[in-house]
Amino acid sequence: MVKLKRFSMKKCCFILLVLLYNLAFSTGKIPNSYDGLRKSYETFPENDARALKYINSIIIKAKKEKKYPELFQGYRDAVFYTKSIDKKLKYSDSCLDAAYKSASDDRISTAYVLRGSIYYAKLKKYKPALDEYLMAYKYSKNTGDYYLKNKISYHLGVVKNYLGYNEEALELFKDCVTYFESEANNRNAHESQIFNNTKGFLNSIHQMIVCYSNMNDFQKVDSLTEVGLLKTFNNPDFYQERSYFLKSKGISEYRNNRFNSAISYFNQSLQLMKDDFAWESVNYFYIGKSQMAMNQDEHAIENFKKIDSIFNKQEFILPELRENYELLINYYKTRKDAKQQLYYTTQLLKADSIISRDFAYLSPKVHREYDTNSLLEEKGRLEKVNIWGGVFLSALAIIATVLFAILKRRHRNQKDILAKYRVLEEKLRTHNYVPKPETPVAVTANTEDSSDERRTPITKAIKLDLLTKLKKFEEKKQFTQKGLTIQKLAVQLETNSNYLSQVINDEKGMNFNKYLGDLRIRYITQLLFEKNIYLNYTIDTLAKECGIASRQNFSDLFFEINGIRPTDFIRKRKKELDNNGDSSGSAMEQIKSIFEN
């Protein structure tokens, strides 16, 4: 028994010593300074999780010391080195929070660009990406960081490009190319700055190629493609960018009927391309088209199916790849394979739905060999071929009846919404919507009298002073402050909440909450009517813009004051602008006009 105890004590001591040694060893290996920690992982490639143990040390240290610039950089690095997209989004949220706490517009702007890049590059969700980029633009208006400004312009151009604003996007990319090329050739710059600017230059060139391709200016497409291939020749640092230029070269070869050469370029592009399923799909599509042109239909179909596989996994498809499903449908139609024909018809309908959702401005311009109605009819015919065709037809008949009833009701609702929109529009056009700030009214001799004995009498001077301060409060749009209460406003106006409440009730004809909500909703409604770019904001963003914390509260208050939901107002306003041709104006000019005011 004694021997056992001695053995246990010896064993425990040994384990303790090992742990202390490892702790001392590890502590010696991990530096304590921020610069030392960063140097431990700065050479690691993107998505390398080894960096996270050092980054976590930075985050813990910065939180403890409340050094928000260091905390911002730590979360920013975490986004770069973590592989999980969900974690990238989570870290980007924390990065934005740290940026706000650091009180730096440049960091806030950078954090918004970071979030937008995740939505665009990793998820291909263009609408939320655009929201983030617009917020980045807003906070960068006074920055002296020209790299940041051009990076934001690049990302705005990318989204515009995919939404069909090719001419506007092209102008942005031209400016980016000029800046990035100049800075990439600055030999006095740090090595990492030269790398980042070269990367920006090459990606801007590629986006210009996409613009010119959409505009059918193939001479410029070919010229820029050659520039890109020359700049990326035998340079491992820019293999991803080279893959884009090889893809562009392959499309050029396909366009000139050099199909074997085209396939060779597309395969080279796929070998170098990483984590970009959108352009991978383009490569597969043109390989298939080239094979079809050489009567290799079965090989072509295999490549078209790869695009469908990506579509099923990512729920994303470029509008130009819609033809992929038309080719698959025709292929199986000629072979009388009703089952496969039905499957790809259903996929095409799903693709149309996603294209319409994500590319609202571009979708109507896409050539459609199969319009939605004919596709639905064809789907019904194909289902009839199957064993349960009769059941499907009955179900479709029931669905059609229900849809008819829904559409009829929706038509009535839309008619009512349109009428309310017209009334609101007339008020906005004739400047009868947002009342001018109240002018202090003359206070009569019996102002101090009150039938309510509980109310504190207010002198004429106090009332006039409060009305003057409320006028400035309205003119300066201070009602957009978040979390504003009557107590907080009373402190700001150097009065007490009882006096303020009485004046608002007596002179504005409503209580404080209604008064504040009325100012906020009328303010944001006026912006939606006058500044077209606000029509692209999400409801959450619009609510925050006017100081309302809850999306639901914003929507309900908007409806209460305007008689129409904000989503309905935005939809009607967009349609009106499209019909009037106003939507063709420069979106960047609209953005600039907002932030210059």
108: helix, coil or strand?
helix
Band (60; pLDDT cuts 50, 70, 90): very high
Return d(Cα 127, Cα 350) in angstroms, integer. Answer: 19
pLDDT value of position 382: 67
| Residues written for the chain | 597
In order of 86, 109, 126, 128, 164, the CA distances from 148 in angstroms are: 25, 8, 20, 20, 24
Residue owning tokens 């050099």:
258
pLDDT value of position 3: 42
Query: Is pLDDT of 27 > 60?
Result: no
Q: How far is CA 216 from the centre of its chain?
A: 28
Q: How far is CA 23 from the centre of its chain?
A: 44
Return d(Cα 579, Cα 344) in angstroms, integer. Answer: 34
Tens of pLDDT, residue by residue over 426-472, are 777 776 665 544 444 444 334 333 344 445 677 888 889 999 999 99
Return d(Cα 152, Cα 491) in angstroms, integer. Answer: 39
In order of 197, 198, 202, the CA distances from 182 in angstroms are: 9, 9, 12
Tens of pLDDT, residue by residue over 383-428, are 655 545 556 556 666 877 777 777 667 667 777 777 777 787 777 7
Dihedral sign for Cα atoms in the order 64, 69, 74, 75 = positive
pLDDT value of position 578: 81
In order of 86, 137, 253, 478, 590, the CA distances from 594 in angstroms are: 32, 11, 44, 17, 6
Percent of the chain beyond pLDDT 70? 80
Domains of the chain and any CATH numbers: 37-144 (1.25.40)
Can you tell me the mean pLDDT for 117-125? 83
457: CB partners within 8 A, 6+ apart:
448, 449, 450
Can you tell me the mean pLDDT for 54-62? 93
pLDDT: which is higher, 18 or 55: 55
Query: Is pLDDT of 5 > 50?
Result: no
- Range with the largest mean pLDDT of 26-30, 380-384, 519-523: 519-523
Angle of helix 105-117 versus helix 85-101 axis, rounded to 10: 170
Return d(Cα 5, Cα 181) in angstroms, integer. Answer: 74
CB 200 within 8 A of CB 180: yes
Return d(Cα 105, Cα 519) in angstroms, integer. Answer: 27
Return d(Cα 477, Cα 472) in angstroms, integer. Answer: 8
pLDDT value of position 158: 84
Band (534; pLDDT cuts 50, 70, 90): confident
Tens of pLDDT, residue by residue over 212-230, are 999 999 999 999 999 999 9
CA dihedral 224, 226, 228, 233 (to 10 degrees): -170
pLDDT value of position 24: 42
Can you tell me the mean pLDDT for 80-99? 92
Query: Is pLDDT of 577 > 90?
Result: no
pLDDT value of position 406: 76
pLDDT value of position 376: 59
Residue 222 main-chain phi, psi, to 5 deg = -65, -40
Return d(Cα 252, Cα 322) in angstroms, integer. Answer: 20
pLDDT value of position 581: 63
Return d(Cα 417, Cα 565) in angstroms, integer. Answer: 9
CB 92 within 8 A of CB 79: yes
Residue 125 main-chain phi, psi, to 5 deg = -105, 100
Mean pLDDT (the chain) is: 82
pLDDT value of position 380: 65
91: CB partners within 8 A, 6+ apart:
75, 78, 79, 82
pLDDT: which is higher, 123 or 287: 287
Band (92; pLDDT cuts 50, 70, 90): very high
CA atoms within a 13 Å half-sphere pointing along the CA-CB vector of 238? 24
pLDDT: which is higher, 315 or 412: 315
Q: Taking Cα atoms as reference points, which of 90, 221, 219, 203 lies closest to residue 151?
A: 203
pLDDT value of position 209: 96
Band (366; pLDDT cuts 50, 70, 90): very low
pLDDT value of position 388: 54
Can you tell me the mean pLDDT for 363-371? 35
pLDDT value of position 26: 47
pLDDT value of position 437: 42
Tens of pLDDT, residue by residue over 336-350, are 999 999 999 999 988
CB 199 within 8 A of CB 241: yes
Band (580; pLDDT cuts 50, 70, 90): confident
Return d(Cα 433, Cα 525) in angstroms, integer. Answer: 9
Tens of pLDDT, residue by residue over 252-262, are 999 999 999 99
pTM of the model: 0.56
pLDDT value of position 75: 93
- Long-range Cβ pairs for the range 381-387 (8 Å, 24+): 382/338, 382/341, 382/342, 382/345, 383/342, 385/338, 385/342, 386/338, 386/339, 386/342
Can you tell me the mean pLDDT for 297-308? 95
Taking every pair of Cα atoms in the chain, the longest distance, rounded to a whole number of angstroms, is 103
- Long-range Cβ pairs for the range 424-429 (8 Å, 24+): 424/525, 424/562, 424/563, 424/564, 424/569, 425/529, 425/576, 428/525, 428/526, 428/529
Return d(Cα 501, Cα 486) in angstroms, integer. Answer: 8
Radius of gyration of the chain from Cα atoms? 31
Tens of pLDDT, residue by residue over 145-196, are 899 989 988 988 887 777 777 888 899 999 999 999 999 998 888 888 899 9
Can you tell me the mean pLDDT for 73-82? 93
Can you tell me the mean pLDDT for 273-288? 93
pLDDT value of position 391: 60
pLDDT value of position 170: 93
pLDDT value of position 132: 87
Return d(Cα 144, Cα 136) in angstroms, integer. Answer: 14
